[in-house]
Amino acid sequence: MRPLSRALATACLVACLACTSAPSAGAAPASGTTGTGPPLRSWTPAFLASVSAPDAAPIGTNDWSCRPSAAHPYPVILIHGTWENALSTWSGMAPWLKRDGHCVYAIDFGKSNPLEQGGPLTITPGAYGARPIERSAKEVAAFVRQVLAHTGARKADLVGHSQGGLLIRQMLRFEGLAGSTDKVVTIAATNHGTTMDGLGALDRILRDRLGMDLDPVLNHVVGVSGVQQIYDSPLLRTLAAGGDTEPGISYTVLATRYDEVSTPYDRTFLTAGPGATVDNVTIQDGCPQDLSEHLSVDYSPRAIDWVRRALDHARMPLASIRCTATVPFFGDSEAR
């Protein structure tokens, strides 16, 4: 074989080997996001940005070249809540987790519309998380498995806000993810259902005392996934039957006293079952000036640092957790 021919053959062989051994650009899991949003450190600006760019991923997430390190062997997957999206929920927290050395991923899931009983807010760009929670759990579970396959990690750490926390419990119990999960963090989650600041309580009183089932009507008002989060719903009763936790998982549950959606706020707390640990945390304990409520809590420096600690105790000792004056519906994720 002539030298030039030999060189070309060698080059072709190397190229072929590279094609078969390296993941292709198209192998990235389907996160539902496109592109990356701007730097955002407060909830209200993040929400407004998500209306104009509803499918953008938060800075620090969905870097498909990231590979878990020995210090952080498990990818972190962020799961938003009802009528939310990745950009509006995680733009304050994700950059911190990325700077800490985690591989961080976020998904937009549960796209619906009013005709599918997603609720009226689904006409707003970026109002996701509106399908029945069982369906959304299957969608997010598929994404988690894809991330694990893409990164080569054995397990993932899951962080969920509001419905996202409840959805994590649904995935662990009914989608076979318990053995593939190391840590769970829930933030203002509807773990044991919500009274919806009285609306849900009225619904249950009418049902239990007068036999009036208004859930089919409420499906069109607050969406089917919203109704599933009212306390004593069939979904919540099914979850409660097996206890709050799964063996082998470490849970951190964050609550804010000023929660206006997941009410009463302490209904979010979990009780540890066999083989699990639970750390229930109220953000205002030791920091009364943090006035973050249901939406801005993800931008509270204190909440962010509690999540960082839950994922890496060694990096975040208790003394390093920030306490700042946090304004409702805003917050400042970078405040010191």
Going by C-beta distance under 8 Å and a sequence separation of 6 or more, which residues neighbour residue 238? none
Q: What is the pLDDT of residue 202?
A: 74
Residue 234, classed as helix, strand or coil, is: helix
Instruction: Output DSSP code: residue 42.
Output: S
Is pLDDT above 80 for 19?
Answer: no
Give which of 90, 88, 100 is closest to 62, Cα–Cα.
90
Q: Are 254 and 185 in contact (CB under 8 A)?
A: yes
How far is Cα 109 from Cα 134, in angstroms, rounded to an integer?
12
Going by C-beta distance under 8 Å and a sequence separation of 6 or more, which residues neighbour residue 332? 41, 42, 299, 301, 324, 326
Higher pLDDT, 328 or 2: 328
- Look at the pTM and tell me if it is higher than 0.75: yes
* Mean pLDDT, all residues of the chain: 91
Q: Render pLDDT for 75-115 as a digit per residue (tens, 0 to 9).
A: 999 999 999 999 999 999 999 999 999 999 999 999 999 99
Q: What is the pLDDT of residue 27?
A: 60
Please state, for a pLDDT cut of 70, what percent of the chain lies above it: 91
Q: Render pLDDT for 282-321 as a digit per residue (tens, 0 to 9).
A: 999 999 999 999 999 999 999 999 999 999 999 999 999 9
Q: Render pLDDT for 163-210 as a digit per residue (tens, 0 to 9).
A: 999 999 999 999 999 999 999 999 999 999 999 877 777 777 777 787
Half-sphere exposure in the Cβ direction for 279 (13 Å, CA):
14
Q: Which of 81-85, 117-121, 193-197, 236-240 has the lowest mean pLDDT?
A: 193-197
Element (H, E) at 250: strand 250-255
Q: What is the pLDDT of residue 187?
A: 99
Local confidence band at 14 (pLDDT 50, 70, 90 cut-offs):
very low
Local confidence band at 5 (pLDDT 50, 70, 90 cut-offs):
very low
How far is Cα 86 from Cα 106, in angstroms, rounded to an integer?
6
Is pLDDT above 90 for 222?
Answer: no
Is pLDDT above 90 for 21?
Answer: no
Could you please state the CATH topology (level 3) that the domain comprising 68-320 is classified under: Rossmann fold (3.40.50)
